[in-house]
Amino acid sequence: MRRGLQDRALLDLASSCDARATAQVAADLVPRALADAPAHGAPAWPTDEAAWELARRKLLAIAACH
């Protein structure tokens, strides 16, 4: 839960600098979520940590305007 709150805070911070770039990072990482995800098979989002870490670094770079 803590990690999810941190992720949301980073998305909010990055969005306040560049909403379009932040939305693109989120859409690239999770193109379909929750109810839009398939009921069976692989999820629409990556399951390896490298992709998530790359997205985090992109968001940190976007949020650097502060």
pLDDT digits (tens, 9 = 90+) for 2-45: 888 999 999 999 999 999 999 999 999 999 877 777 778 888 88
Domain span at 19 = 2-29+46-65
In a domain, 35, yes or no: no
39 occurs within a structural domain = no
* Domain membership flag for residue 36: no
pTM of this structure = 0.85
User: Looking at the domain assignment, is residue 41 inside a domain?
Assistant: no
Q: Of 30, 35, 25, 29, which Cα lies nearest the Cα of 58?
A: 25
- Does residue 47 or residue 20 have the better pLDDT? 20
Residue whose pair of structure tokens reads 């998305």 in the numeric block: 11
User: Is residue 14 situated within a structural domain?
Assistant: yes
Q: Which comes out higher in pLDDT, residue 59 or 40?
A: 59
Q: Is residue 56 part of a domain?
A: yes
Domain count, the chain: 1
Residue 48 has pLDDT above 90, yes or no: yes
Residue 37: inside a domain, yes or no? no
Say if 22 falls within a structural domain: yes
Looking at residue 42, what is its pLDDT?
Answer: 83
Coil vs helix vs strand at 66: coil
